[in-house]
Structure 1
Amino acid sequence: MVKATVKKLCKQYTDLSDQDIKILQEMASSLQTYADLSGSYMFIDCKLKLSNQAIVVAEAFPTGSTPLYNNSVVGRIVFESFEPGVFYSYRNGKKSIIQQAMTQEGIVVGQTVVPIKNRHHQVIGVLISEKQVKSLLPANDVKTFSIVTETAEDQVTGAGLSVVSDLLMEMLILTDSDDRLVYANPAGLQLISEMSGQDDVINRNVLDMLPFLQSVYEQEDDVFVFELTTQKKDLTVKKIRMREKNKSQETLLIIQDNTELRTKEKELMMKSVVIKEIHHRVKNNLQTVASLIRLQMRNNMPVESRAAFEETLNRIYSISSVYEIILRKEHADDDDVNIINLTRKICSTMVLNEYNLKVDLIIEPNGNKIITSSKKAVSIALIINELIQNSLKHAFQGKESGIIDVEFIVDQDFVELHVSDNGVGMKDPQTSLGTEIIHNLVTNDLNGEFLYIPREIGTHAVINFPVGAEVEIFDE
């Protein structure tokens, strides 16, 4: 029965594979043993597939213990607001210990959360151990409420808390068992007045004034989080229902207005769409220019001019590669480019296009991940293009094969790009359009240095440029 429930909930609410579900089923079948051995309440939670929430898929209570929960919580949604340890372990894959955590039934517990991982070391669920802890309040102050120690109205409107609640950006709305408003902080009063058009609101039914809260009050769970969109506002509503000896009392709503945040998100989304469209147009325009050049090359072009046009096509392709990499990213407004990936793309295409020459291409990132802005990436793309093009054009004359090695060496302050080959070499490097392009880009765009290192076999070029705001280094 336990295994069947785990499978059903995981299939319905998660993206877990059959193998992952089997791991959770095996753990769930031993959950009762863990609970009895430790004297703790045990749970298994899994992330929902379409949200940042989780769901309880299995539970076990110590045999013979006083019930910590009135009802089964299997199938209940878990919110990060109330159980941050669950989501910490999910994100970081580490154990989480919280000395005092408030459960979604308003019970103070000590909670330990351990991530459950599959054979690929991916977190597929969390194992939770809970024990009720004693309140920190003196014994004579502890009453029968599970969430508050006196009536909620007294608690919220007490001298100290009243000042705090008045300063909160969040809206606090407190209603009695008949859903009549008994307290609201200034932000809450402003919301009710704005949405209902009424000023005299105390002791009036909150659902008559704010009918969009109907679904909040109809939800049976004592603690729940809602995302509500009205005609005017986007709201996050946390509901906490107070109980005394299982008798329904006040309901506290903590409301956060996300309207301005959602508006900014929409603006950013529009900006992202515009930037993506610009990247598309630049890429398409480059492809159009390349197509025109190819058309010109087919139109009785002299053989001596063909090589220059092919070099121009390679330069256009190198720039276009930058925008192709950006457009593949999930967020088009993020125009950072992975230089290692860019280098692989440019070099492999150029080498594959050399039909009459077999070249072994070696790219050595040395465990580095180098991220630059799109502007720097265009400069680096053109530099790499010129260096590889020079090797393919001049290094292997009279040979059928060769080796080109591209290596990135990084220290804290500088990146070194080494491009070497085992070709015929250059005893006296001559100035050409390609070397002029490299010098100008390295000096003006990268604020770096370009030089050839003498060697007995082949050619060895080095580009050196500083790490900075637009050039960042990460360990791969």
Structure 2
Amino acid sequence: MDKTTIEELCQSYTDLSGSDIQIVASIANTLHLYAELSNKCIFIDCMTKSSKRAIVVAEAFPRTQEAVYKKSVVGEFVYEVFEPGVHYSFSTGKKSDRNRAITQEGKIVEQSTVPIRNDNHEVIAIMIMEEELSGTYNNLNEPSDISFGSKALGNLMAETIDDYPIVPDLLMESFLVTDADQRLVYANAAGVRFINEMSQADRIQHEEILTLLPFLEEVLDNQEEVFVSELTVLSKNIEVKKVKMHSKTNELKGILMIIQDLTELRTKEKELMMKSVVIKEIHHRVKNNLQTVASLLRLQMRQVYPPENKIHFEETLNRIFSISSVYELILANENVDEDDVDLIELTKKISSSMVRNGLHNKIGLNIESNGNRVLTSSRKAVSVSLIVNELVQNSLKHAFPGELSGMIHIEFFSRKKFVELHIHDNGVGMSEVSYSLGLQIVHNLVVNDLEGEFTYMTVQSGTHATIKFPLSQEVMIHHEKTDTNC
């Protein structure tokens, strides 16, 4: 792949930085390997400055496959209406699998897309794996699957046939048109197949649509000019869109109907709904089990002697509460199956509860987030919750002896590839760091679970603990402000 071409296209048509362009160029050098390995066409698309279309900046084709493209498409623009999967990945940052698209040469292909991210985990390009769906329409040569009535369609639409080249036959939906007497005068290839599947009629052209598809009676009887209805027919879920077509004198010329098979979509929705219910139930059970353990510990505390040993139970209860807080926040989310936890909210919940329920009434709490959000998976959120619990607990226990008042500050920062969590107080400080059980827990969680670093900074007064861990697929910054603070 010509690196110069990629740089020129990106500099001319995109807002990518120099370092982002280098990432795209580096990945482009490996495209031929992906193409040979998958035996599919591979492309890289970048979003243009207008954000309304993308541009192809790199391509690779397998040598063992007959070329889908007769010429290079590098430098061609990609529109959402023809390649929705590409634009979906740009807008959501998620991959898409097996989407159908139309190439720049009018061929129907199946696409899978994967976002390419920079060091800040921003989507800068999309890698596309593409395969022609030639087999899908091989049966169009059989008379029963060929579309008919193009001339009638042109007349009904008050246009010429030249204005309707191959678009209806490219549609995955059934595209049907009747005349004013509700006789079928046009059906695209998908429509012909749909009627053949739902009806046993030997002849369909110019037949009454209700004779062929009697379940459309409710749709056709509706007097609205534009009407949409979802029906269940023969274990299929279908959506019917009806549009009445009139002449310039307002005389009814015909009815256009677009029928989409939603069976697979509804099945997936049910599966996702069941998955969400199961996940939510699991989270509920974990939370309830933690509360049960906490209740047993509180009962056990009443039997503890001497009383000063109760502090160990309290520390354990705080740890259980910290973990339970993760599941409370997950259950509060509308999209439970996404399993994302806002670390800012989690930290506020844990630290506020500890300060509020502590023995010291003169200790304040300040949490800085500057409006940005740090989202992470539940797995890493549990680790962060325990870390916050131990460090805030240390400040409450040791920083303010007697009736001494003070403040505990908690701050989040984003530093390009990392998130930093600072927990510091203005208490009496400590002469040296003694790694108690709590600090050992913190160190192990930061190093092993977060793959980060844990240090105590040297300060003139109080203590200042810093946790630094990398951004990843499980840890993301949602920037709502432009500064570097989270």
TM-score with structure 2 length normalisation? 0.64
Partner of 1:259: 263
C-alpha RMSD of the superposition = 2.2
Contact 1:357 1:400 in 2 (8 A): no
1:285 pairs with 2:289: yes
- After superposition, the C-alpha distances for 1:252-276 in whole angstroms (9 at most, x for unaligned) are 2111111111111111111111110
Equivalent position SS for 1:425: coil
**Distance across 2 between alignment mates of 1:187 and 1:410:** 52
Distance 1:152 1:303 in 2: 90
Could you say which residue in structure 1 is the equivalent of 2:462? 458
**What are the within-5 Å matches in structure 2 for residues 123-134 of structure 1?**
none
Equivalent positions of 1:45-194 (< 5 A) are: 150-152=154-156, 158=161, 161=164, 163-194=166-197
Determine the structure 1 residue equivalent to 2:238.
235
Note the 1:267-416 alignment, pairs <5 A: 267-416=271-420
Which of 224, 227, 233 lines up with 1:221 in the alignment? 224
Q: Which amino acid aligns with 1:209?
A: L
| Contact 1:153–1:182 under 8 Å retained in 2 | no
Q: Residue 208 of structure 1 is aligned with which of 211, 232, 240?
A: 211
Q: Deviations over 1:234-254 (max 9, x none)?
A: 222222222222222221211
Query: Which residue identity lines up with residue 453 of structure 1 in the other structure?
Result: M
Contact residue 363 and residue 406 of structure 2 kept, 8 A: yes
Q: CA deviation at 1:196?
A: 2.6
Deviation of residue 155 (structure 1)?
6.0
SS of 1:292 mapped into structure 2? helix
Once structures 1 and 2 are overlaid, which stretch shifts more, 350-359 or 277-286?
A: 350-359
Structure 1 range deviating more: 307-316 or 294-303: 294-303
Matching residue of 2:54:
none
Moved more, 265-274 or 223-232: 223-232
Structure 1 residues 341-369: Cα deviation after superposition (integer angstroms, max 9, x where no partner) = 00100001001111344211011113321
CA contact (8 A) 1:410 1:416 kept: yes
What is the CA–CA distance in structure 1 between the aligned matches of 2:258 and 2:374, rounded to whole Å?
45
Q: Kindly state the Cα deviation for residue 153 of structure 1 after the two structures are TM-superposed.
A: 8.4
Please give the per-residue CA displacement for 1:36-75, whole angstroms capped at 9, x wherever unaligned.
xxxxxxxxxxxxxxxxxxxxxxxxxxxxxxxxxxxxxxxx
Distance 1:372 1:269, change over 3 A: same
How far the C-alpha of 1:197 sits from its partner, in A, is: 3.1
For 2:193, the aligned partner's letter is Q
Tell me, what secondary structure is at the counterpart of 1:228? strand
Q: Give the counterpart letter for 1:425 in structure 2.
A: G
Offset, 1:410: 1.7
Rounded Cα–Cα distance in structure 2 between residues aligned with 1:233 and 1:430:
67
Shift of 1:449: 0.8
Does the aligned pair in 2 maintain the 1:420–1:460 contact within 8 Å?
A: yes
3-state SS, counterpart of residue 333 of structure 1: helix
Partners of 1:296 and 1:440 in 2: CA distance: 28
**Partners of 2:322 and 2:308 in 1: CA distance:** 23
Structure 2 distance, partners of 1:331, 1:224, is 31
Give, in whole Å, the separation in 1 of the partners of 2:460 and 2:216.
81
Q: How many residues align?
A: 329
Deviates more, 1:289-298 or 1:301-310: 301-310
Letter in 2 for 1:192: I
| Separation of aligned partners in 1, 2:392 and 2:294 | 20
- Tell me whether 1:441 sits opposite 2:445 in the alignment: yes
- Tell whether 2:448 aligns with 1:431: no
Amino acid of the structure 2 residue aligned with 1:206:
I
The CA deviation string for residues 7-55 of structure 1, in whole angstroms up to 9 with x for no partner, is xxxxxxxxxxxxxxxxxxxxxxxxxxxxxxxxxxxxxxxxxxxxxxxxx
Q: Cα distance 1:466–1:191, how it changes in 2: closer, same or farther (>3 A)?
A: same
Q: Which runs of 5+ in 1 are unaligned?
A: 1-80, 82-147
Q: Distance in 1 between matches of 2:373 and 2:305?
A: 43
Which amino acid in 2 is paired with 1:367?
G
Amino acid at match of 2:295: S
Q: Which structure has the larger Rg?
A: 1
Distance (Å, rounded) in 2 between the aligned partners of 1:276 and 1:291: 22
What TM-score does the superposition give when structure 1 sets the normalisation length?
A: 0.65
Identify which range, 201-210 or 431-440, moves more after superposition: 201-210
Partner Cα distance (1:394, 1:366) in 2: 29
Contact 1:342 1:381 in 2 (8 A): yes
User: Does structure 1 retain, via aligned residues, the 8 Å contact 2:341–2:381?
Assistant: yes
Q: Among the aligned pairs, what percent are the same residue?
A: 57
Partners of 1:455 and 1:249 lie apart in 2 by 83
Cα offset, 1:304, TM superposition: 3.7
Pairwise CA distance, 1:162: 6.4
SS in 2 for 1:366: coil
Equivalent residue letter for 2:220: Y
CA distance in 1: counterparts of 2:154 and 2:169, whole angstroms? 20
260-269 or 350-359: bigger deviation? 350-359
The whole-number CA distance in structure 2 between the counterparts of 1:261 and 1:170 is 14
1:422 match: 426
Counterpart Cα distance in 2 of 1:427 and 1:155: 87
Q: Per the alignment, in what secondary structure is the counterpart of residue 179 of structure 1? A: coil
Match of 1:198 in 2: 201
How far apart are the structure 2 equivalents of 1:150 and 1:290? 74
Q: How many Å separate the matches in 1 of 2:355 and 2:166?
A: 71
